[in-house]
Amino acid sequence: MSLHTGNATLRVLALTALILLLRLGSVSAQQAAPGKDPLPSWNDGAAKKSITLFVAKVTKAGSPDFVPPAERVAVFDNDGTLWAEQPMYFQFFFALDRVKALSSQHPEWKTKEPFASLLKGDVKGALAGGEKALLEIVMATHAGMTTEEFEKTVRDWIATAKHPKTGRPYTEMVYQPMLELLAYLRANGFKTFIVSGGGIEFMRPWAERVYGVPPEQVIGSSIKTKLEMRDGKPVLVRLPEINFIDDKEGKPVGINQHIGRRPIAAFGNSDGDLQMLQWTTAGARARFALIVRHTDAEREWAYDRQSGIGRLDKALDEAKATGWTVVDMKRDWSVIFPFEKR
């Protein structure tokens, strides 16, 4: 294309357009490209269709179901919904690795349960002590340091630890279809939050990079902290005392405490998410609830009604009774993990 000097203004405007288009590229591509599927890892079917229909109706100006952007709040469980949770919650692997790392400072752990069993690799034996044993492990590994020290420990661990089955970093064991869903909702004006039974400060150091969810949009279980002055500088010290359990009945409480308005969409995978989905869908006007069902023993794991991690029983009954969307991972997801070959 040849440009005449008389068209200087036009040239400047054209250049400006190119620059602006490049800057807006990521947003425009997701919102406007009519030929591009925003959810390519979702197979066509009822689940995918229910998502796109819901988003279409709440974002259509003038529609009776229209929701202003400020109220487009979507909440996601983490374990089993955004990343895997087998054979144990990944945060528990973190705790195990911390027990090993800290054991030299705690010679008494060699004979003291639940640590003695853990150090011998006997997780079942360690957890025989029930909730009390679990709490002791959590407090020994999550309390007693400043928030900055804990954050660094999590960052270092997540950068190096590998899943025992796949040999992959834990942050690669996230669900590709859910990453697409998070991005799709945000491209449609949603604010996406994590609402997890896991530790709030365990997720925040990597949730922004992995999920695009900033720390202020992560809600989770927590221990108490206390302000102290150390060398003339304020630090927050993590105390061995539960502050909040963000699970089951706690999820609506945590949502209300942190967000202060009712979500219009909620995504979970287990009975621990039931109350969050009930709370979300009990609101007036258009609401959306979705349950991820683990049905693919080959590519991931297959489990639901049996007891244990990620049990899905009551919430599945409720989903069927009330018409919530149920995702069958084997049927509905063409890709589960980002590292799979398509």
Positions that interact with a second copy (CB under 8 A): 1, 3-4, 7, 9-11, 13-14, 16-18, 20-21, 24, 70, 73, 147, 191, 200-201, 204, 208, 214-218, 222, 225-227, 233-234, 236, 243, 249, 252-253, 256-261, 275, 278-279, 282
**Minimum separation from the CB atom of position 17 to a second copy (A):** 4
Task: Decide whether 122 or 148 has the Cβ nearer to a second copy.
Answer: 148
Q: Give Cα 91 to chain centroid, integer Å.
A: 13
Number of residues that make up the chain: 342
Nearer to a second copy, 217 or 295 (CB): 217
CA–CA gap between residue 142 and residue 154 (Å, rounded): 10
- Which is nearer to a second copy, 26 or 256 (by Cβ)? 256
Q: What are the tokens at 5?
A: 């000097």
* Shortest Å, Cβ 222 to a second copy: 7
Residue 233 pairs with which residues in a beta bridge? 230
Helix boundaries (H) for 87-175: 90-102, 115-119, 123-127, 130-142, 147-160
The smaller minimum CB distance to a second copy, of residues 9 and 105, is found at 9
- For residue 310, give the nearest of 333, 292, 326 by alpha carbon: 292
Least Å distance between CB 332 and a second copy? 28
Q: Which residue from 201, 180, 205, 173 is spatially nearest to 90, judged by alpha carbons?
A: 173
Structure token digits, residue 17: 């357009």
**Between 167 and 260, CB nearer to a second copy:** 260
CB of 231 to a second copy, least distance (A): 11
Shortest spacing between CB 117 and a second copy, in angstroms: 33
Q: Which is nearer to a second copy, 20 or 33 (CB)?
A: 20
Measured between alpha carbons, how far is residue 191 from residues 200, 216, 329 in Å?
18, 11, 25
Q: Tell me how far apart the terminal alpha carbons of the chain are, to the nearest angstrom.
A: 40
Alpha-carbon gap, residue 71 to 264, rounded angstroms = 8
CB of 278 to a second copy, least distance (A): 5
- Find out whether 286 and 264 touch, Cβ atoms under 8 Å: yes
